[in-house]
Every structure is written in structure tokens, then in C-alpha cells.
Structure 1
């Protein structure tokens, strides 16, 4: 059977994914030590000769950092990572020659003769896949649970680095709120840095020689970054005071359709029944901010709902308002924890994927639209997320 490239996401989702990737201004940038450290750590921890921070562009895969390849990009039609971004979380291929998607891939049948692949997704706060942190080998193999956990943690660290750089660029362009952005960016990096340090400490006990020395060097660099961020946070104040957005009529079903194309696939992978109701409502808001609010709320609902559960999103009108409810039957949020989780970089489950930005982004985006956000426990468990906007 001849080799076939990975299928693309639906057109709407792919356009949103590429727009999100473009917003980070990372493609074709120079090498940076923070990303180089990440691929070296991934390579050491997973005992893999090849490790890559990989971003999937429209027609190529581009490497922000790599170990063992010696190139910065390759065509998309032979990309294994292009298959990985179709997954919800992680793709592991123990033997590429035994997988019909990859058995005829020129990177498998020819040089460098890839036989093993494992990639953890790089995802935005609202779930758009941008690429992977991946490790590869020329021998069939697998990873243990600690190695898989470390790969996921390193993927979160890459996203934290990307978010920091984007925040700083936005601050420089606007010339305002620098302290706010630096403070939130610092919080963004603290948790992933400590996760990486913890993972490295676990692995360090089992290695020696040159690998141990390199791990020690990388750990020293991360400790230095952690200390610098502590000083940064001590000298700034996270006084969030977002401005108003330019508001206008938004056709709600267009936003619902875009979210359906993104989250139906993710829900199916988790065996979660996702229902998004039809609506003819028009609200006063901002389309991108509204999609951010609802996308992050759906992301949380799907993430925290177990397989076999259900998530619904429905809109209703009354008293000049449009109210959108997103209800799940997941783990729920204790009432006393709700306000805390609206802070930046907080998660209901600290071990869950993501950066803990979802509810913070929701509150900031909703405030810019003069919308109201509430979270309530469901009558039979789970959570009800409620957004109220003015009807247009």
C-alpha cells in the first residue's frame, strides 16, 4: 500500500488552528535555549536519539528545537506529527512498520529508518493543536508511565514559553499593562518549571556519566529561571484590568458551528456525548471573545467529564438577555473553589492537562463584552457554566 499523508482537520478547524499558530509568531525564529533544553530533557528521559519541538504549518512541519535530526523543517506529507495533532492528547507508535499509516512512509522505509514515535500535543488554552513535543527512535520500543508523564509535562512547558513570548510582544506593541503581563507570564512558567524539575530529579537517580552531567546542567538552568521568575513576581502586581472590546451583533449559531467542528471530535475520542443546540439568537458581543469564552468552557466540560458522560450547550432568551448554559456530568467544582479557579493558572485538578488559563481567560473575555459568567453545581452532579449577554 502506498504512503498517504495525514488527513487534515475540517476546513473551519484547520483555519482556526493555523490562525492560532500564526498568532505566536514563532515560525522561522532562531533557536532559543529554553526550547533546546526541553528537547534535550525529552531525549534523556525517554532514552531516545531524536527529540523535537514540532509545529505543524499549512504545508510543512517546522522544528523550533531538535536533537538528532539536523534539519529545521520537513515536508508535511511525510510527517508523523501531522497524524498526532488529530489525536486528543498523546500518540505512541511502538513499531511504525506494523502501523498501516506509517509502514510505507519514506522516513520509515528509507533514511533515517524511524521505527518508534511518541508525541505529546502542544495545545492552546481553548484546545487548538499546534504541534508536538515528540521523541523518535530507529528501534521498535515503548515508554513507561514516568516517561509519558514527563513528555506531557514538557509539552505544557513549551506552551508556557510560547504564551510568555506572545504576551511580551503584545505588551511591547501596545506599550501598556507591562507589569500585568509580566506577572501573569511569570505565573504561567512557575508550575511547568517545577514540574520539569521534579521529573528531572526522578530521572537523575537512574542515570550516570555524561547523561547525568547534562541533566545537572539543564536542572541548574531551570532553577535559575525559577529564581528569576520569583523575583519578577515579587516586583510586579497581577492587577488585571482589561479594557472594553469593540462590540457589535454576533450571530450565535455561527459561533456554535465553529465550536462544534472543534469539540465534537475531542468529545468522541473521550466517549463523551456532546450536544450543541441550534439557535437563531443574535447577541451583542465580539465573535473572537465569545468563541474564546465558550471554547474554554467546553474544553473544561469535556476534559472533566468521564467516558460515557454527556455535555450540552444550549441558548435561551428572555428579558433582553441571551443565556448560554454548558452543562456536564463530570467531577463538579465545590462552591468554595469557584472564585479561586477564576484566577490565572488554577485548575480543578492540578494533574490535568492544560495551563490553568481557561477560567481566567473566560472572566477577562466576558468582562470585555460586559457579559456575566456564573458557575453552579448541577442538580444531579457535574457543573453548569452560564454566560449571559445582551441580545442584539
Structure 2
């Protein structure tokens, strides 16, 4: 007969400081996000378990930011093994829950789905507050290798870093801190491929021949140095010091569009999409680098959501006091409710698509810094039309350059 479930003292979990820290990330009860789902899939694959989750421990419940194989969004804290991890703030591996008297009466481990194996690594802030766990589970008794346990720790750290990035972006929305936005942009573009590269190098180190060890060790050290640099960037970005955009000046829009065409043509061709960028002699009052970032994010989005055989057209037209830049695609389009939330952080047109859902958030903030207004017209199944109103350089001569229509 199974022994009674010995529930731990949950008082520390309900400590005001721990809960306030958890709530400061504004993560509970949010929608699924692909970056967290990707980490959960990695944990399941690496540990070869059918079940994995990113679990956050609230006062009376454990809530799953991401899960595979559980089919639940939350469970009572009384049924939580993850609570033990948070209390102990260390990796916990239970090879057979049926042989552990702490879980003898736990419904998760005595009935459907009759879980037998558990391993969890704490998700802990820089100042030592444990928010939850990165955990894997199975319906059979088993164990993990030391390498799998180390990887589980690494994935827990990645969850924490993405929570920090997420909070920083929310903070920058409220404070209009431009420096935080630009550093978030760098993290968005570079952290995920860096993480994949680091995992790959560490995996190769386990099987490397003696003559390869030196180079791989150097490569791993270099990646660690870069990751530490990113950590410093995130810490710096979480402050409130101001960052001033370079002074706006005469910007050759033709040069900017030439860069956009050269940069995105290979991607469009790989997808069998016709990318047309109209030449122009117009100049605007802007910053070339940031304008390339703004237009590039919108063109990238257009190519991403346009099917093979479709078109993306970029062109501009002079008006009395501004230049209207049009980005038109024949992609999947959006319903009006999606248009209204398009520029929010971590939103994506397709939940299965790659990336963090930050590209258009960055585009909006860059547009604000440049004094550019953005209009969106979209029809589901027919495509999307972005119109950017760029401040006109005072000396620009009138132009009859037409905007091409996509038919």
C-alpha cells in the first residue's frame, strides 16, 4: 500500500517578495509563445521524455507557460513536485515516484496519467529568487545522464534569460527607453542562434578527437564570452538612462531601398517569391541605418507570410509634405483584430513560425523614433499593405514617380 503524501511546508512559496518578483515579469496567464515552446521541445528531445513543461509556481497553483504531453494549463500547488524544486532551489530527479513517500497520495502520480519519473531544474533570477522549473516527466521509471541533467540546467537558464528579455521589453514600452529597445533588438537577432551554436559545440566536445579538443574548447570559450556580453547588455538595458538617436539628416531613400533589395532578394528567391523594389531619387529627413531596420523588418515580415508564387512590392511616392513608402504583399493577410495587436511584443502572425515575435514591435518603436507614421490595410487571404509616411527633406524636388499596384 502506498504511503500518505507528505506535503511540504508551502509557506516560503507564498512569501510576498517571491510572489512580487514572479508577478513583475507579467507572464502568468499569457498566451503561448514560440520561443518558450521551442525550449520545451528541446528539453523533451534531449531527455527523451514524452512530457516536458516550463512551470511557474504561483501562491495556490502551478501554471505552465509551455507544455508538451500534459494537456493542462495549470494544476493545484498541492499536486506539484515542482514546488519541491522551488523550495530546495536545486535540480531534483525522482527515478520512481511510486517509491517516494512524498508523492504517495498525489493524483498526478497515482492515477491518469500515472506519472512515474520526474526531473526539474530551477528557473532562478540573478538575485536568487526561484520562479519555477524547467521539468521533464515520463510514465515509466527511468534516469537521466549527467549530460542530460546539465542540459536541463542550461535550458532553465535560457528560460530565465527570455523572461528577463521579455520584462525589459515591457519596461521599455512603459518608459520609452530607446536604449533598451535597441539592445533588445540585438538580443532578438543574435541570442537564439548563439544558443544553438553553444549547444552544438558542447555536444561536439563530448565526442571530439584529441586533435579537435583545443579548437572546440576555444570556440566554446568564445561563445561563453559573447553570452556574458549579452548578459551585461541586458543588465544595462534594464536601467533608465537615456539613449539618443543619431541626429536626423538628409537620407538618400534610393540607397536605403537598394540595400533592402540586395538583402532580401536571396530569401525571396528561395521561397519562389517575386520581390520588386522600385528605384527612387527621393531624399527624406531620417537616419539611414534605423530606416533600413524599419523597412527591413516590414519587408522580412511580408516575405515570411507570402506563399511561393506570390509577390512583394516596395515603392514610394512624393506628397506635399512627406514621402509615402508602400510595402505590398500577396500573402496570407490578417483580420482586423490581428491588425490591432500586430505591433505588440511577442505577437506573431503564425504561432508555428520562427522567431520571438519581436520584429514588428521593433519596427513600431523605430518608426516612433524616426517620426514615421505607419498605416496597415490587410485582407485575409489576399495580402497586406503597409504605408509609411516619411518626413520629406525640405529641398526635395517634386517627383512623378508612381507607386506600382499589385494585381
TM-score by length of 1: 0.49
Q: Which has the larger radius of gyration?
A: 2
TM-score by length of 2: 0.48
